[in-house]
Each structure stands twice: as structure tokens, then as C-alpha cells.
């Protein structure tokens, strides 16, 4: 079964049904029915025109559903309007589907789920497994999202920034179950980059590639986290780094800087350093200044405090940190690290323990707990 082919055809088949007059929710259901039928029958005999086959089957499923709910006259009109089977016009509706799935009235989690289903071609079960939620829960989330966008015109202007946020959320979910969401986000962003000429789309793709290049070294065999400074740089994916840097350089050359390009520039400086000690922290601080100007985000300023601590010494970093709220996520962890570098081990140990208590994931909690325990052991000697 050529699953990659099915995924690549899903957006255009869905777009054809919507342009023929089917509302988004009914069209998406019909396309999913057609995909299930393809999985069942194609291993025995794949059609010569897979896209045309999917369009024909999906349209018939849509008509069947419409017949069950619509009035007799409308039913007969749809039957009369049914196009003859055969080749379908070439059209790429992927971009419109991205914008539709990133509708501003949807919650981020619903927009992500709908994008994975409608554009990514994943099943509800696959998405549910990736998010570690029951299939029924994910089905309800997707159904609500489809109802929300059903009345939205298919050709409405879209917000690129919203689409990029959705793709960034998909990437940050990482991977679990039988769907690698990080790889899926890269695939989807490649599709978007091929459909729209926008430097921030390129910036996001570069950022994903540069982060993904370090994936194999982020955890030890026992599942524990490995900090960036301790990762085996010889195992980083140099092909992904080269591609990401090339995409980023082309985007920056257009002189339309955005936050994803700035984030990618920071990631590129980390990727370019042969060792942690050779990292160009001064230039990283400069890029954090650019990023802070673009976003005015306290989280960006928190990360900038770490970079200042590396470039100008831990006390300079702590001075930057003092201007930020201690309620920020990972504030205690950053403070612990800077105090440890400054030689104040009792304070660092206490803050590591505090950060572990607030950690959002089990792996991060264990990592911070081990840091605190290591320092406490050293203090007792």
C-alpha cells in the first residue's frame, strides 16, 4: 500500500470536492471514506489514475450522504450534476486548505488536528495515538473543528502567520506512537514552501531542519535528556544542517526578517560550532536582541539571559534574569544553571530542585532532579 501517495493526493482531492460545492465537513468525511476504500482495494489492483479514482469515489460518497439528508429536489440536482468518471483537472488546493484549517476561531489544538487530518492525510486514530488521547476524544475535536470551518469560503484570504503557528505547534509535539509529528511537520512545511513564496515559511522550514538535525543526540539510551553542550556533535545530521542553513541564507537575503528566521539563525550558530566551547555567543545575543524586538516575548528574554550569561559571564546573565518574572516557565532552571556557573552551588542545588518540581515533562523533571542531586552530593563531601 503506497501510503505516501495517498497522503500526497489527499489535499487536492479534498479541494476538488469543496470547489464542486461540497461543504468542508462533508467533503472531508467523503475523502476519508475514499481513502479507506483505497486501502482496502488498491493492494490488489491500483488504478491507472489514482487521483481520479479517489475523486470519483469521494464524490459518490458525498452524494450518498447528501441523499440521506437533503430534500428530493436538491438530491436530484446533485445526481444530474455528477461529472462523468475520468481525468480530473490539475489543481493544487493545498495552500487554501492550510488557511482553512488554521481558521482564527479554532483553538490551536483543534487547528493542529484538522491540519494533520485534512492536509497531512493522517487518520483520526493515528492523530489520537500521536497525541496520546482516546480516538473518540480526537474524533470529537476534529468534528467540532470541521463544523466551525464548514461555512468559510474556500478561497478566503488566509493568514500566513496563523498557518505557521499551527505547523510550529505540530513540530514541537515531537513524536510518539506510529506518527512522527516532527517529521510530519517538516513534510507539511515543505509542501507549504512549495506553494507560497514567503521568507517566514522558509525560515520555519530552516528552523525545523536545524533542530531536527540534533534529534538523535537529544536523549541517552536510557531516555534521559542530554543538554546541547553535552551532545555528540559528530552524530548531528550534517545534510539537514546544510539544507537548513542554505534555506535560511536565501530567506535572510530578502531582508524581510521575521521571528522564525531569527530563531533559525540562532539554531544555525549552534549547529555551526564544532564544539560547545566554540559557540559564537556574542552573535547569538545579537540575534536574541532582534528576536526580542520582533516578538517582545518574555520567554525570548529568558533565553537571551542564558546567552548573555555565556557571552559576558554568569553574573551578567543573572542581572538580565533579575528583570524578568520568576513565574516564567523554566525561570528556576535558568537561574540554577547561572548560579552553578557562578560557583554558588547551594543556591543552584535548591533552584534545580525547585525547577524539577515545576517541570512540564517527566524527562525534564528527572534531568533537573539529577542535577540537584549531583550538586548536593558534592556539597556533602
Q: What is the DSSP string of 255-272?
A: T---HHHHHHHHHHHHHH
Q: Is residue 162 part of a domain?
A: no
**Placement of cell 469543496 in the chain:** 18
Cβ burial of 275 (10 Å; 0-12, 13-18, 19+) is exposed
Boundary-marking domain end, from 51, 69, 87: 69
Question: With DSSP H G I counted as helix, E B as strand and the rest as coil, what are the percentages for the chain, rounded to 5?
Answer: 70, 0, 25
272 in the same domain as 345: no
> Across-strand partners of 225?
219
Helices 331-341 and 314-322: crossing angle, nearest 10°? Answer: 150
358 in the same domain as 300: yes
274 in the same domain as 305: no
> What are the angstrom distances between the C-alpha of 226 and each of 300, 322, 335, 362?
22, 27, 19, 14
Which of 177, 174, 194 is closest to 138 using CA atoms?
177
Boundary-marking domain end, from 69, 88, 109: 69
pLDDT of residue 84: 52
pLDDT of residue 256: 95
pLDDT of residue 90: 47
Cβ burial of 64 (10 Å; 0-12, 13-18, 19+) is exposed
255 in the same domain as 308: no
Q: Return the C-alpha cell found at 289.
A: 536582541
pLDDT of residue 184: 85
Domain extent, residue 248, equals 197-279
Q: Is residue 339 part of a domain?
A: yes
| Residue partners of 77: CB distance under 8 A and separation at least 6 | none
Determine if residue 326 is left, alpha or beta; phi over 0 gives left, psi from -120 to 50 gives alpha, anything else beta: alpha
274 in the same domain as 201: yes
361 in the same domain as 303: yes
| Number of C-beta neighbours around residue 39 at 10 A | 13
300 in the same domain as 269: no
267 in the same domain as 201: yes
- Tell me the pLDDT of the chain (381 aa) as tens digits: 678 888 889 999 999 998 888 888 888 999 999 999 999 888 888 898 999 999 999 999 998 888 776 554 554 554 555 555 555 444 445 677 888 888 878 888 888 888 888 888 888 888 887 777 889 999 999 998 888 888 776 555 457 888 898 888 888 876 545 668 888 889 889 988 988 899 999 999 999 999 999 999 999 998 899 999 999 999 999 999 999 999 999 999 999 999 999 999 999 999 999 999 999 999 999 999 999 999 989 999 999 999 999 999 999 999 999 999 999 989 999 999 999 999 999 999 999 999 999 998 888 999 999 999 999 988 776
Q: Is residue 232 part of a domain?
A: yes
| Residue partners of 351: CB distance under 8 A and separation at least 6 | 332, 333, 335, 336, 339
232 in the same domain as 202: yes
Q: Is residue 336 part of a domain?
A: yes
| Residue partners of 250: CB distance under 8 A and separation at least 6 | 202
Which of 77, 89, 356, 61 is closest to 225 using CA atoms?
356
Q: Return the C-alpha cell found at 116.
A: 494533520
In tens, the pLDDT along 167-192 reads 888 888 765 456 688 888 898 899 88
Does pTM top 0.85 for this prediction?
no
- Taking only Cα atoms into account, the Rg of the chain, rounded to an integer number of angstroms, comes to 25
Task: Give me the number of domains the chain comprises.
Answer: 3
> What are the angstrom distances between the C-alpha of 238 and each of 103, 235, 271, 283, 325?
36, 8, 9, 22, 38
**Placement of cell 471514506 in the chain:** 33
Q: Is residue 106 part of a domain?
A: no
pLDDT of residue 309: 97
266 in the same domain as 240: yes
246 in the same domain as 320: no
305 in the same domain as 335: yes
Boundary-marking domain end, from 228, 252, 279: 279
pLDDT of residue 302: 96
Amino acid at each position: 500500500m503506497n501510503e505516501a501517495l495517498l497522503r500526497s493526493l489527499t489535499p487536492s482531492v479534498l479541494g476538488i470536492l469543496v470547489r464542486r460545492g461540497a461543504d468542508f465537513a462533508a467533503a472531508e468525511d467523503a475523502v476519508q471514506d475514499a481513502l479507506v476504500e483505497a486501502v482496502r482495494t488498491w493492494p490488489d489492483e491500483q488504478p491507472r489514475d489514482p487521483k481520479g479514482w479517489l475523486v470519483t469515489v469521494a464524490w459518490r460518497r458525498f452524494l450518498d450522504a447528501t441523499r440521506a439528508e437533503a430534500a428530493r429536489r436538491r438530491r436530484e440536482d446533485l445526481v444530474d450534476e455528477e461529472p462523468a468518471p475520468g481525468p480530473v483537472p490539475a489543481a493544487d488546493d493545498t495552500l487554501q486548505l492550510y488557511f482553512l484549517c488554521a481558521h482564527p476561531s479554532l483553538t490551536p489544538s483543534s487547528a493542529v488536528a484538522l491540519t494533520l487530518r485534512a492536509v497531512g492525510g493522517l487518520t483520526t486514530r493515528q492523530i489520537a495515538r500521536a497525541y496520546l488521547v482516546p480516538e473518540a476524544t480526537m474524533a470529537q475535536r476534529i468534528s467540532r473543528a470541521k463544523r466551525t470551518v464548514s461555512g468559510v469560503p474556500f478561497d478566503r484570504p488566509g493568514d500566513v502567520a496563523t498557518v505557521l503557528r499551527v505547523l510550529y505547534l505540530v513540530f514541537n509535539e515531537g513524536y510518539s506512537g506510529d506518527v512522527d509529528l516532527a517529521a510530519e511537520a517538516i513534510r507539511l512545511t515543505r509542501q507549504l514552501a512549495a506553494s507560497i513564496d514567503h521568507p517566514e515559511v522558509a525560515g520555519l522550514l530552516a528552523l525545523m531542519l536545524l533542530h531536527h538535525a540534533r534529534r538523535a543526540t537529544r536523549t541517552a539510551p536510557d531516555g534521559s535528556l542530554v543538554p546541547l553542550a553535552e551532545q555528540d556533535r559528530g552524530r548531528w545530521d550534517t545534510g539537514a544542517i546544510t539544507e537548513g542553513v542554505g534555506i535560511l541564507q536565501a530567506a535572510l537575503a530578502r531582508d524581510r526578517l521575521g521571528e522564525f528566521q531569527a530563531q533559525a539563525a540562532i539554531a544555525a550558530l549552534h549547529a555551526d560550532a564544532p564544539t560547545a566551547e566554540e559557540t559564537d555567543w556574542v552573535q547569538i545575543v545579537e540575534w536574541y536582541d532582534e528576536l526580542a524586538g520582533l516578538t517582545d516575548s518574555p520567554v525570548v528574554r529568558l533565553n537571551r539571559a542564558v546567552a548573555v550569561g555565556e557571552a559576558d559571564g554568569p553574573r551578567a546573565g543573572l542581572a538580565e534574569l533579575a528583570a524578568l518574572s520568576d513565574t516564567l516557565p523554566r525561570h528556576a532552571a535558568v537561574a540554577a544553571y547561572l548560579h552553578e556557573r557562578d560557583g554558588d552551588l547551594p543556591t543552584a542545588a535548591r533552584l534545580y530542585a525547585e525547577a524539577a518540581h515545576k517541570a512540564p515533562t517527566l524527562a525534564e523533571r528527572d534531568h533537573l532532579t539529577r542535577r540537584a542531586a549531583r550538586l548536593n552530593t558534592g556539597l556533602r563531601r
